Amino acid sequence: MNTMKKFMLSAIALAALAAAPATAADLRPVYKAAPPPPPPVYFSWTGCYVGGNVGGLWVHRDFTDRLVGDPFFGRTFNSDTSSFLGGVQAGCNYQFAGGWVIGIQGDYDWTGNNNDNLIFFNNVRGSFNTKNLASVTGRIGYAFWDRFLGYVKGGAAWERDDFSFFFPNGAVANLTGNTRSGWTVGVGGEYAFTNWITGFIEYDHYGFGNNSDNFICGPAACVVGLGTAFPVDRKETKDVFKVGLNFLWGPGAWGPGRRY
């Protein structure tokens, strides 16, 4: 009987010792792995915008007398003026391959660029006024640090001018509402202050070729004995420096987006 009791006590002790490691393991604290950090997000320039701008305008004009028989035939005279301008712009961008951005933009600016009482062509006075300036351009740039976009642009341009020549004999030659087409190139930088407001600074150069215009004189002939028309070759370049704001809508307006 004593032998049986000893055997039972030994079996119980061995079972307790076997169960002890499992029980200790169950009592250990369980550590869960930390969740992975969220993926990085970036501001996206993809979307469309509309805005306004103000700046300065510098104009250079060359006039060449083409009136055959006039003492100043073939002579070229020039005019330089400057003024302020202001207007609106609208466009759309698409961001791809990381930070590259392409887009298209149209702008329209009003200006009062006047140059009155110029004296040339043997005391002929001139008055010239640029009314407005417009362009449609393509843009390409790169988004440095996501919210700063550096870009270049180029495309077609249009201008509207009024011209008048006043001759010593009382004749006046007018060319009003004259619209010409040309080209423009530019460079600029734009920064996204928020997800829907950006500010930009830009320089643009415009060229309007060398066109021939016939100024019709009245009430007397421009030059006595040489008819009522005053043909002039006119070449113009314009330089614009402007700053402005754009209001966005699209992915960039609603929050940061993933890089492509």
Tens digits of residue pLDDT in 5-62: 555 555 555 555 555 555 544 555 666 777 776 656 678 999 999 999 999 999 998 9
Assigned CATH class of 47-254: mainly beta
Amino acid at 238: K
Contacts of 122 (CB under 8 A, 6+ apart): 71, 72, 168
Paired tokens of 231: 């043909």
Q: How many residues does the chain have?
A: 260
Tens digits of residue pLDDT in 69-120: 878 888 888 888 889 999 999 999 999 988 999 999 999 999 987 777 677 7
Residues 53/109, Cβ–Cβ less than 8 Å: yes
Residue 20 in 3-state DSSP?
helix
> From CA 78, how far away is CA 201, in angstroms rounded?
30
For residue 27, is it left (φ>0), alpha (ψ between -120 and 50) or beta?
Answer: alpha
Asked if residue 71 has a cis previous peptide bond (ω within 30° of 0), the answer is no
The residue extents of the domains of the chain are 47-254
Residues 135/184, Cβ–Cβ less than 8 Å: yes
Q: What is the pTM of this model?
A: 0.79
**From the CA atom positions of the chain, what is the Rg in Å?**
38
Of 104, 110, 105, the residue nearest 132 (C-alpha): 110
Number of neighbouring beta carbons within 10 Å of residue 132: 16
